[in-house]
Amino acid sequence: MKKQLGKKNDHLNLLCDVSNLANLLTRSADMDAFLQRVVEMVAVHLDADVCSIYMYDEDSLELVLKATKGLNPDSVGKIRMKPGEGIVGATHKKVMPICVGDVGNSPEFKYFKEAEEDRFTSFLAVPLQRGVESIGVISIQHEEKEYFNETDIIALRTVASQLASSVENARLLLSLHSVVEKRKSVSEQLQFVKGESASGGFAFAPSMVMKKRGGLLLLNQFLDENSGYNLSDFRRAVKKTGSQLQRIQNDFSTQLPESASLIFTAHFMILKDPGFVKKIESDIQHGTDPITAVRKIAGQYISLFTSNPHPYIAEKANDVEDLALRILKNFQRESPNEAELGKKKIIIAEKLFPSDILKLVTSDVKGIVLVGGGVTSHISILSRSLKIPLIIVEEMQMLQLQESTPILMDADLGNIYINPSKEVIEKFEKRNQLREDVKCNTIKMDSVTRTKDGIRVGLFANINLLTELSIAKQLKAEGVGLYRSEFPFLIRPTFPSETEQYLVYQHLFNEMRGKEITIRTLDVGGEKTLAYSDMAEEQNPELGMRSIRFSLKHKEVFENQLRAILRAGFESESLRIMFPMISSLDEFCEARQVIYDCMQQLSDKKLPYNRNPEIGMMIELPAVVELIEDFSKEADFFSIGTNDFIQYMLAVDRTNRMVSDYYCPFHPSILRSLSKVVKTARQCKVDISVCGEMTHDPAYLTFLLGIGIRKISVDPKFLYILQKRIQKIDIDDAEKHADQLLSEPSLQKIKTLIESTIGKIG
C-alpha cells in the first residue's frame, strides 16, 4: 500500500537533522559513526525498514556497503558491487534515482545473500553526487510493495545532496589522517585546510607566501659578496628587466584592455629614477659588488616607502622588492622567465589589492589562498572574472608554509590539501577533466530562456572585465545587466582619464552591438578602495563615503565617467546608466541632473553622444523599500543588488567570515522586501531585474521567479546552469512556493522549506 503524502513534517525534520549532522561531521571527521547515524535517522524519518549507504571505492572500482540500518550489520564492508550491478550499482552508474515498487519484477535487482534482504520489496536508491559524478549511493527499502512515493524521492535526494560534500570531505580527511605522522613543520601539521570557496576551480602547484614584506626577505637569497659580475652585467640585467616587464605588459593589455598598460608603472618609474640605476652604477664603479649594490640601494628605497604613513605608498615597497628581484635574477643569463613573481604558483596572502591580482595574473598564478576576507569581497569577484581559483581561510599558519610546498586546491568545495598524496592528486585530476568536459557542453544554450510553462525570462551577464564578454556572447547573454565600471578604476594605479574610459566603454558597446547594456556608475569605497585616491581612512567604510556618495562629492570624476559613457554609447539603442547605493529620491535626482549637465556639455562641444539613455538605480539599501512607488515615478529601471541589500538590511558585513552565518538571503524581511519591491515596480511598469549573487543560487531561483522576477543578470559562467534550472520551473508552482515562504516568519522553517525545493531543479 502506498504511503500517504501527509508525512511532510517528518521529512522536513529529517532535513534539518541532516544539515546539523553534516555540521557535526565537518568537526569530528568520524565517518563510520556519522554514516551510521545518518542511516538510522533516515530510516526513522522516512519510515523505511532499511537504509544503507554505499561508497564508491576508487581503488577496487566497486561500491562498498559502509553503513546500514536494517540489513545484516556484519555485511558492512563485505557487500561490494560493480557500477551497473544491481539497483544500487545502476543508480551509481546512471547518476539518477531509481525507485522500484517490487524488486521481484525488476531486472536490475540483485540479491546479496550476506545482507539478508529477501523480505524487502520496495527499493529506492539515490546517488550521492559530487558535481557530475556519483561518489556513492543512499538507499531505502521496505517490506511492503510500492511503498515509496514522490515525496520520499525528493526527501532522499535532498538528504543525498547535503550528504555528498560532507562525505567527500570526510573521506579525504580520513585518508589524510591515516597517513599522518607527528612531525613539526607547518606543512606537515597542516595537511588539510577547510576554507570557503570564493572563486571555483582546481589548482595544483607549489606554494608561495606573499607577505606584505616591505623588507629584504627575498633579496637576502642573493647574499654572494663576490659574485664576479661587473657593471656591464648590471646594465644588461636592467635592460633585460625593462624589456621583460614591457613584454608582460603588452601581453596583458591585449588580454585585459581596461588595465591599459599601466600595471608596472611603479617598476618603470623606479627603473627610470636616476637615484636608483645611476646610484647603483656609481657604487659598482667605486668597487661594490653589483649584487650587493642592487640589494643596498633597493633596501634604501624599501625603507623609504615602508616608513610612509600612507598604506598605498608603503605598498610600493613590494614593487621595489619585486623589481630588484627581477634584476638580480636577470644577472644570470640563462633564466629569463624565472624572474616572474609567483610564476605558476599558488599564492598565499593575507591581504591583496586588486592590482596585486593583476600582477599575479601576468605571471600565470594558478590559485590564491586568502587568509581572512569574505566571499563577496571584490577580490573574490575579480578572481572569478579572471578565473583564478580562490579560497578564503582562517588558518594564519598558512602564511608560514615553506616556499614551494605542493598544494592542491579544490576551490569548488573550499578544500586545500597540503603535500597531497598521489591518490588525492589523481582523483582531482580526473575530476578536473570532467569539469572541462562539462565546460565544453555549455555552449549548447538556447537563445531564449523560458520556464517549463513557457514564460520568458531574460538572462543577462554581469561583466567586471572586458575579457568576460566573449563567454557572455558564447552563452547567448541577452545583454549586459550590470557592468561594474569600477573595475578599470580598481585595477589601475591612477584614475583613468575620460578618453581611457571612453575606449573601455567603446569596446563594451562594440562587442555587444545591438544589445541592452547597463553601465553602473563608479561604485568605489567600502572594501573597494582606490589605492591611489586620497580617500580618508574611515571607521566604517561600508557606511561611509562610498559609491554614489563618492561620485557626487567628486563631481569631476563623476562627470568624466558620464561623458565617457554617453560618448561611447552614441550609437547604442539601449544604453542604460545605473546609479549604485541610492538612498533617497533627492540623491537620485541630483545624480540624474549630473547626466543632464554632461549632455549639455557635450552638446556645447558639438560632440556626438547618446541623447536618450535610460536612467535607473540599484536597489541596495533598505531605505528605498518604503519609497519604491515614488522612485518608480522617477527611475526608468531598477536592478536589485542583493549582495549589498542583505548586508545593509541585516547589518552584516558581506566580507567578514566571522559573521557569515548571519548573512541570510532567506531572512523573512529580505524575502518580503524583495517581494514588495518587485510587485510595486511591476505594477508601475518599471523594468526590474536582479543582479546580486542570490540569483545563481538554486535555493532562491524559484522564489525570485515566484515573486515576479523575469530578468536576471549573473556572472556569465552561471548562464547555462541558470537556463537549465529555469526550464524546470513552473510559474504556478513558483508562485505557490513564494507565497509559502512569504507567510513564514521563522528563519529555520524558511530554510527547511527552501531546502525541500532545491532537489527539484538541481
* Minimum CB distance to ligand PEP smaller for 166 or for 199: 199
Which residue from 9, 7, 14, 10 is spatially nearest to 163, judged by alpha carbons?
Answer: 14
Kindly write out the interface string for residues 684-703 of this chain, putting x where it contacts Mg ion by CB under 5 A and - elsewhere: --------------------
| Among the listed residues 41, 72, 49, the one whose alpha carbon sits nearest the alpha carbon of residue 163 | 41
> Could you tell me the smallest distance in angstroms from the CB atom of residue 581 to ligand PEP?
8
Please give the Cα distance from 398 to 209 (Å, whole number). Answer: 8
Coil, helix or strand for 112?
A: coil
Identify the CA nearest to 366 among candidates 205, 201, 255, 198. Answer: 205
Is residue 641 within the footprint of Mg ion (CB under 5 A)? yes
* Residue 316 binding target from ligand PEP, Mg ion, none, CB below 5 to 8 Å by type: none
Distance (Å, whole) CA 576 – CA 566: 10
What are the DSSP E strand ranges found in 265-389?
A: 346-349, 367-371
- The answer to whether 526 contacts Mg ion (rule: CB under 5 A) is no
Rounded least distance, CB 654 to ligand PEP, Å: 8
Region of 176-184, 357-365, 570-578, 641-649 interacting with Mg ion (CB under 5 A): 641-649
* Closest residue to bound ligand PEP by CB: 641
Asked whether position 527 contacts Mg ion by CB under 5 A, the answer is no
The reply on whether position 620 binds ligand PEP by CB under 6 A is yes
Give the shortest CB-518-to-ligand PEP separation in angstroms: 11
What DSSP line would sit under 451-513, residue for residue?
Answer: -TT--B-EEEEEESSTTHHHHHHHTT--EEEEEETHHHHHTSSSPPPHHHHHHHHHHHHHHTT
Q: Which of 257, 692, 706, 759 binds ligand PEP (CB under 6 A)?
A: 692
Q: What is the rounded distance in angstroms from the CA atom of residue 739 to the CA atom of residue 357?
A: 44
Stretch that binds ligand PEP, among 103-111, 498-506, 641-649, 746-754 (CB under 6 A): 641-649
State the DSSP H helix or E strand holding residue 382, giving kind and residue range, or none if neither: helix 378-385
User: Under the criterion CB under 6 A, does residue 290 sit at the interface with ligand PEP?
Assistant: no
Helices (H), 569-641: 585-604, 628-634
The answer to whether 243 touches 251, Cβ cutoff 8 Å, is no
* For ligand PEP, the closer CB: 457 or 482: 482
Stretch that binds Mg ion, among 37-45, 154-162, 243-251, 642-650 (CB under 5 A): 642-650
Considering only 642, 680, 689, 723, the residue that binds ligand PEP (CB under 6 A) is: 642
Nearest distance from C-beta of residue 464 to Mg ion, angstroms:
12
644 binds Mg ion (CB under 5 A): yes
Stretch that binds Mg ion, among 120-128, 423-431, 634-642, 734-742 (CB under 5 A): 634-642
Q: Which of 168, 283, 644, 687 binds ligand PEP (CB under 6 A)?
A: 644
Least distance CB 486 / ligand PEP (angstroms): 8
Contacts of 421 (CB under 8 A, 6+ apart): 175, 176, 179
Q: How far apart are CA 525 and CA 552, in angstroms?
A: 13
Please, what is the minimum distance in Å from the beta carbon of residue 511 to Mg ion? 24
Whether residue 620 contacts residue 641, with contact meaning beta carbons closer than 8 Å, is answered with yes
Closest separation in Å from C-beta 520 to ligand PEP: 8
Number of residues that bind Mg ion (CB under 5 A): 2
According to DSSP, the residues that pair with 409 across neighbouring strands are 203, 416
523 binds ligand PEP, rule: CB under 6 A: yes
According to DSSP, residue 456 is labeled B
Q: Please choose, out of 404-412, 601-609, 637-645, 699-707, the segment that lies near ligand PEP by the rule CB under 6 A.
A: 637-645
Helix (H) or strand (E) holding 361: helix 354-362
What distance in Å separates the CA atoms of residue 31 and residue 35, rounded to the nearest whole number?
A: 6
Query: Residue written as cell 524558511?
Result: 750
Cβ neighbours around 745 below 10 Å, total:
10
Residues that bind Mg ion (CB under 5 A): 641, 644
Residues that bind ligand PEP (CB under 6 A): 482, 484, 523, 620, 641-644, 691-692
